[in-house]
Amino acid sequence: MSDESIKELTPPFAKGGAGGISLTAVQPEQLRVPSRKLEEAHGRRIRLLSSFVFISPLLAAFVALFLGAYGVTPLQVLHIMANAFSGIDSPEAAIVLDIRLPRIILAGLVGMSLSTSGATLQAVLRNPLVDPFILGISAGAAFGCAISIGFLPGMSLQVMAFAFGGLAVLMACTMARSGGEISRLSLVLSGVIVSALFTALLSIIKFLVDPMKLQSIVYWLMGSFALADWPQVRSAGIGIILGCLPVFLLRWRLNVISMGDEEARTLGVNVSRKRIIFIASATLAVTSAVAVSGIIGWIGLMVPHLVRMLAGPDHRRLIPLTMAGGAAFMICADTAARNLTAADVPVGIITALAGAPFFIYLMKRGGAESWGK
Amino acid sequence: MIRVEGLTFRHPHTAEPVVRDISFAVPEGRLAVLLGPNGSGKTTLFKCMAGLWSPEAGRILFDGNDIADITHRDRARLLAVVPQEHTPPFPYSVMEAVLMGRAPHVGLYAAPSAADEDAAWTALCAVGVSHLAERPYTRISGGERQLVLIARALAQEAPLLLLDEPTSHLDFRNQHMVLETVRRVAAEKGLTVLMTLHDPNLTAFFAHQVVMLKGGAIVANGEPATVLTEENLGHLYNIGIGIVADAERRLIYPRLT
């Protein structure tokens, strides 16, 4: 050690107060300019990309409106949309306004709900590897819906989906908890168990119901927007928006909660109450989506991670971007589902084909420590 | 000033309390250190004071108010806690991590305002780590992370600062640098500080007051010069202790035979 560094080390032993070990001096000009400086540094790049993500659902929707088995040109689409309320009576108008538009809006809503819930659950459970599908919420909701379709035609699908989706998430979290801590791996495993359980129960129902109902359950389960219409948009839209709104409003608190229970508590956040609000909201959004679209997996895992790669982990940006990105992603996936083959392939198959390799990639990268900027 | 009165804590389903009838006070603007061997009840006492665990008996008073009677949010405005090493699941930037210290001041449905960002930035500057603002919090060194956590605690603008073994994962230089920073900012802002430490020498250098804890009870409490004696430390750690002293410094070392 050089003489100088020894000299640097001595004073604090002897006298109190400032001095001693060299600390970066506080420059007066550093004390001004914080927010503006940060905005600049965060960069035009992120802002540009973010703006693109925000308008992407509209772009995707526009393209999706003129793609399909029945040829409609972009110009016709513009014309039909401009006169949507004056009522043109043509086959093109009927296809665009009554078939494609509700389907696109529903896909957008469902994509938004699944990815927003994914981001929320990842933060609240401090686990980058979870999403509603992996935790078994989707399977629980599907079971609830199947009961309703098969045996209780009077019960609302939305209510049954929420009840059993909530039960599923409760079971997964309770199973994974030991000594007040939830480990990442055991949570994923509990989700697998809960999914397996509800899938088995679902099979029993499929076995018991009459063949007519069986067919509609099976088709709906594969995850598809083929039957979308305006009433579905309305019934799912209410639950999805009610579920996403609290998450959007409280999104900054997700940063604090993701630091862990004790820390969030010492930072003044009522963790137990907030966690219930977040998980219940995420569950409501997901189960409302499942009730109209069946099980569509992996979106809740992929979209938040893609957004984190793009704009960092701060939930103030992450949540709005995930909402827009999820909507755009699902509209694209559904458009692909309708157009890739002559038949209308269930969109759940497309997202699973993309999602499974993505999950493996995340695991290999260590999941947690990914996506620093 | 913070005062602990007759504090007793017992884990559920256990017979023996971890800490028993502990009373002491730290006057305003002083830096106090809790010193004691592993299992002495330091962590328990610390968690009780941070409001994380509820004591079975006794009170913790801050300026005459019992901290058990107030909400997490109000408590976070009174006392800021610097936790031990930890890793968040997502690589937040240092600035975002420090902004979390503003949580008790931000409205329920609001996000941090420009004024909150200013406060966080001022805290980063006060600790001297503003150059790290944009870096991912998960990819800075242990010493830097400790300083960032101290900045986060300062951003809370609480008059009382609790630090849980702030030096435990740090190298020799960083131990001194972190404690020197704590002492400097505490003096600048008139904070009352309570921390747990493992090193009697660091305690001797930085503390105004030492509270010695053994087997869940206080064995000594007072100024370092009077409390950190061969006899007290020998009793505390159950080993022979030697002290070399000259006009400026005292160096405590273990005398193992």
User: Given CB atoms, is A272 within the 8 Å cutoff of chain B?
Assistant: no
User: Given CB atoms, is A132 within the 8 Å cutoff of chain B?
Assistant: no
pLDDT in tens, A122-176: 999 888 888 898 899 999 999 999 998 888 887 788 899 999 999 999 999 888 8
- Provide CB contacts within 8 A for A23, sequence distance 6+: B128, B177, B180, B181, B184
What is the model's pLDDT at position A19? 39
Indicate whether this complex's ipTM tops 0.85.
yes
Give the one of A30, A127, A314 whose C-beta lies nearest to B89's C-beta.
Answer: A127
Closest chain A residue by Cα to residue B88: A259
Count A/B contacts: CB-CB distance under 8 Å: 157
DSSP secondary structure letter of residue A174: H
Q: Do B205 and A17 count as a contact with CB atoms less than 8 A apart?
A: no
What is the model's pLDDT at position A31? 46
Say which amino acid occupies B209.
Q
What is the model's pLDDT at position A373? 33
| Chain A residues near residue B75 by CB distance under 8 angstroms | 268
Q: Which domains does chain B have, with CATH numbers?
A: 2-221 (3.40.50.300)
Q: Which two tokens stand for residue B248?
A: 């400026």
| Chain B residues near residue A28 by CB distance under 8 angstroms | none
The segments of chain A whose pLDDT lies below 70 read 1-43, 87-88, 179-181, 365-373
Give the one of B100, B117, B177 whose C-beta lies nearest to A35's C-beta.
Answer: B117
Cβ neighbours, 10 Å, residue B15? 6
Sheet of B31-35, strands arranged across: B79-82, B160-164, B192-197, B31-35, B209-214, B217-222
Q: Which two tokens stand for residue A342?
A: 């002559």
CA distance B39 to chain A (A): 20
Distance, CA of B25 to CA of B9 (rounded, Å):
18
What is the model's pLDDT at position A280? 94
Closest chain B residue by Cα to residue A259: B88
- Provide CB contacts within 8 A for A208, sequence distance 6+: A150
What is the model's pLDDT at position A239? 94
pTM comes to: 0.85
Task: Give the dihedral sign, CA B186/B187/B189/B190.
Answer: positive
pLDDT at B142 > cutoff 50: yes
Helix/strand/coil for B239: coil
What is the model's pLDDT at position B108? 78
Q: Do B100 and A9 count as a contact with CB atoms less than 8 A apart?
A: no
Closest chain B residue by Cα to residue A13: B205
Q: Which two tokens stand for residue B4?
A: 């602990």
Q: Which two tokens stand for residue A87?
A: 């009522």
| Chain A residues near residue B183 by CB distance under 8 angstroms | 12, 16-17
Looking at the DSSP bridge assignments, the partners of residue B93 are B136
Distance, CA of A288 to CA of A157 (rounded, Å):
8
User: Given CB atoms, is A154 within the 8 Å cutoff of chain B?
Assistant: no
pLDDT in tens, B87-130: 788 889 999 999 999 999 998 788 899 999 999 999 999 999 99
Q: Do B73 and A262 count as a contact with CB atoms less than 8 A apart?
A: no
pLDDT in tens, B157-214: 999 999 999 998 888 999 999 999 999 999 999 999 999 999 999 999 999 999 999 9
Residue in this structure with the two tokens 């004073």, named with its chain if needed: A11
Distance, CA of B119 to CA of A12 (rounded, Å):
28
What is the model's pLDDT at position B85? 73
Say how far residue A202 (Cα) sits from the centre of its chain. 24
Dihedral class, residue B64 (left if φ above 0, else alpha if ψ from -120 to 50, else beta): left
Q: Do B117 and A126 count as a contact with CB atoms less than 8 A apart?
A: no
Say which amino acid occupies B175.
Q
What is the model's pLDDT at position B103? 94
- Provide CB contacts within 8 A for A189, sequence distance 6+: A176
pLDDT in tens, B32-42: 999 999 889 89
Interface test with B, best of A259, A314, A370 (most B CBs within 10 A): A259
Distance, CA of A102 to CA of B55 (rounded, Å):
58
Q: How does strand B209-214 pair with strand B31-35? A: parallel
Angle at A51 between CA A50 and CA A55, to 5 degrees: 115
Please identify, in words, the CATH class of the domain defined by A60-366: mainly alpha
Say which amino acid occupies A366.
G
- What is the three-state SS of B82-100? ECCCCCCCCCCEHHHHHHH
pLDDT in tens, B73-84: 999 999 999 998
Task: Give the dihedral sign, CA B41/B42/B45/B51.
Answer: negative
pLDDT in tens, A297-317: 889 989 999 898 888 899 999
Q: Which two tokens stand for residue A164?
A: 């059993």
Closest CA to B173 of B148, B207, B202: B202
Distance, CA of A292 to CA of A149 (rounded, Å):
12
